[in-house]
Amino acid sequence: MPPQLNCNTAGKINKKNYNLMKKYILLLASLAVVSCKTGTTSEQDTHQHDSERTVEITDIQMLSAGIEIADIEMRNIAATVHANGQLALSPQNEAEVNPLITGRISEITIQEGYSVKKGQVVAYIENLDVITMQEDYLSLKKQAIFSEQEYERQKDLHANKATSEKTFQQVSAAYNADKARLAGLEMRLKQLGIIPDEVANGNFSSRVPITAPINGVVGKVFVKTGSYVEMQTPLMELADHNSMHCDLNVYEKDIASVKVGQNVHLHLTNSDEEIHGKVYRINRSFENESKSIIVHVEIDRSSKNGNGTGKVTLLPEMYVSAEIEIENALVPAVPESAVVRSEGKKFIFAVAEQHTHEEKDGHKEGESGKHTKFKKVEVVTGSRQDGYIAVTPVTDAGKAQSVVFTPDTRIAAKGAIYLLSATLGEPSHEH
């Protein structure tokens, strides 16, 4: 049975989309008629399995669906190395927020998923020892003023030979010691986010602000309001997603071909979107027993989806597949419109057979004439150039074959999406 349109949905489809959907339904209906055959139960099962890989249509159906056949071309396009990997953040783009003192969390100003700036207050912690520290600072501040005054007085006396050298040295040492202790205590207050000038004016506070160490997005928050925390207890995690890069696993046989500066095409596992990047660093040691080397790829922030402003949001540990452009070579290529995606894989439709049916053979009206059978072929894609894309067939084991397409191979250059729909449609069991 061809797919049914929901009435509410159909009411929202504009005229162009309606005509496209109508053509799609008519094509599936006609394909169902052509695909019907008689046979035993085992023959039916075999036919259903084959229908997932092949589809046979008439010239009339091809014309209706806008399907055009063309030869695979050998084009001078950059050869590629295929690799898999994950999106990742550099260590400097991830951070834990920790308190510098022990105490009780009195307020949390953010939530998970919030964007924060470096230095922004994310929480407050209370500790009565902070009051004592401010009292010590104020007392030492006053003492330092007195020490400075005494130093200046003894300095003048010493210049006029009116005091002993020993007395002047004692006063000078006391002044320098007070000044050093005051500077140290002032630095400690600043690290805790307390303004020394406010303390000098008698404005004490038991609340210490905790600030974000980097720009980023708040990940997991580990504490609650009222939690008692020790020094260096992780309060929350931050990550700067604007500095995402990709770590690819390149195997030993391919590593000699990979160089810094080469262009890379990245594909997220569950998305049709492509992201561009460049190789910027290559590790010089193997990863465990995999015999692969990590190749670091810098994502092009100006490319579509490169900074998450397109349809795809980039997150750490997302799996990707990639093609690294290594050198120009003569490779089989097809129009980009010939490649379709389904369930995370890429396919083209190659012409498997063409023959003619006569009306006298017992075929229904519309089935006579030239028939073309297409085979769905899984491919690995390479670089793009001038509207063409390099392709390599894939074996059932999922590895690229050493034998590539020949120039004699004919494929559906346009309308491949209709053929894909036919292979995914519900198979007919009419006999």
The CATH code of the domain that includes 304 is: 2.40.30.170
Q: How many Cα neighbours within 13 Å face the side chain of 188? A: 15
Residue 302: predicted pLDDT: 72
Same domain, yes or no: 227 and 117: yes
Distance (Å, rounded) from C-alpha 308 to C-alpha 315? 9
Q: Is 430 within the bounds of a domain?
A: no
At which of 239, 260, 290 does a domain end? 239
At which of 239, 271, 296 does a domain end? 239
Same domain, yes or no: 180 and 219: yes
Average pLDDT, consecutive stretches of 10 residues, N- to C-terminus, the chain (431 residues):
41 46 49 41 44 78 88 83 91 91 94 93 92 90 90 87 86 91 91 88 89 93 93 91 89 89 87 86 83 91 57 82 84 89 87 73 58 88 83 66 66 89 59 33
**Burial of residue 257 (number of CB atoms within 10 Å: 0-12, 13-18, 19+):** middle
Domain limits for position 196: 99-239
Amino acid identity, position 375 = K
Same domain, yes or no: 16 and 37: yes
Q: Which residues are CB-contacts of 136 (< 8 A; sequence separation ≥ 6)?
A: 185
Residue 353: predicted pLDDT: 85
Same domain, yes or no: 254 and 227: no
Same domain, yes or no: 229 and 111: yes
Helix 129-159 and helix 165-191, axial crossing angle in degrees, nearest 10: 150
Residue 367: predicted pLDDT: 58
Nearest CA among 189, 203, 186, 200 for reference residue 130: 189
Q: Is 50 within the bounds of a domain?
A: yes
Residue 155: predicted pLDDT: 87
Q: Kindly state the tokens that stand for 65.
A: 């669906």
Residue 189 sits in a domain of what CATH number?
Answer: 2.40.50.100
Q: Is 431 within the bounds of a domain?
A: no
10: left (phi over 0), alpha (psi -120 to 50) or beta: alpha
Same domain, yes or no: 314 and 339: no
Same domain, yes or no: 338 and 267: no
Same domain, yes or no: 157 and 177: yes
Q: Kindly state the tokens that stand for 383.
A: 């670089």
Q: Is 300 within the bounds of a domain?
A: yes
Q: Is 2 within the bounds of a domain?
A: no
Our count of domains for the chain comes to 3
Distance (Å, rounded) from C-alpha 236 to C-alpha 214? 12
Residue 218: predicted pLDDT: 94
Residue 349: predicted pLDDT: 92
104: left (phi over 0), alpha (psi -120 to 50) or beta: beta
Q: Is 232 within the bounds of a domain?
A: yes
Residue 306: predicted pLDDT: 52
Q: Is 356 within the bounds of a domain?
A: yes
At which of 239, 273, 307 does a domain end? 239
Rounded to 5 degrees, φ, ψ at 121 are -75, 125
- The answer to whether 339 and 348 are in contact (CB under 8 A) is yes
Same domain, yes or no: 51 and 105: no
Q: What is the DSSP string of 325-362?
A: EEEEEEEEEEEGGG-EEETTEEEEEEEEEEEEE-GGGT
Same domain, yes or no: 108 and 234: yes
Same domain, yes or no: 393 and 337: yes
Same domain, yes or no: 122 and 232: yes
Residue 311: predicted pLDDT: 59
The residue whose two tokens read 């510098």 is: 100
Residue 67 sits in a domain of what CATH number?
Answer: 2.40.420.20
Residue 84: predicted pLDDT: 92
Q: Is 1 within the bounds of a domain?
A: no
